[in-house]
Amino acid sequence: MKGLESAIAAKADEVAVFSAASEAFTQKNINCSIAESLERFAPIMESAAQAGIKVRGYVSTVMGCPYQGDVDPQHVAKVAKAMYEMGCYEISLGDTIGVGTPLKAKRMLEAVSKEVPMNKLAAHFHDTYGQAIGNLYAVLEEGIAVIDASVAGLGGCPYAKGASGNVATEDVLYLLNGLGIKTGVDLQKLINTGHWITQQLNRTSGSKVALAMGGCDE
């Protein structure tokens, strides 16, 4: 609630709430059960609605958990449904540690889409095992149209040992361009931006497309 109050004071037009499909991860991440996390969201949803702020819901560990291993797609569907019914305008399905594979992704989405409309779902796949692009193609085929991505693949998770960043935006855009899906995003400008920020952070880009195509200073 303190975070929401700060967001309202800063005139934010959108906030997010996070839960997970894994009890073990929820305890490690926010020190409560899944049910307790959902209870905490109720007053936030109410206050956000009164302030005219949209709320996006995130479900972590949708294809695997660093503490409990495999995650049942039905558990993902149950949490996603609860967040959607609370009033989240969109539910982002997160493969937090990047252990998913295309078949797992399809089975997970099949379960969730029975409870939440497909056009209210988004994919948030980390690339720890190099499977994110394959997983995204699998769910695109099923009807997902919103993808979370990170320039140069930056990011990670402090509560998920070994988790790399979210899938690189450059790699996602290259895939979409190859599928003839128009995004309005300039790939070369995106690559240049990725090279710039990784230089500032003194780290290597996590984007295979950026490394292959190279960048230039503007």
Task: Please tell me the pTM assigned to this model.
Answer: 0.92
Domain parsing of the chain, residue ranges: 2-167, 169-218
Burial of 178 (C-beta count, 10 Å sphere; 0-12/13-18/19+): exposed
Pairing of strands 90-95, 54-60: parallel
Strand, coil or helix: 174: helix
Which residues carry out catalysis?
157
pLDDT tens string, the chain, 218 residues long: the values are: 999 999 999 999 999 999 999 999 999 888 899 999 999 999 999 999 999 999 999 999 999 998 999 999 999 999 999 999 999 999 999 999 999 999 999 999 999 999 999 999 999 999 999 999 999 999 999 999 999 999 999 987 665 666 678 999 999 999 999 999 999 999 999 999 999 999 999 989 999 999 999 755 44
Q: What is the CATH number of domain 2-167?
A: 3.20.20.70
- CA 128, distance to chain mean position in Å, is 14
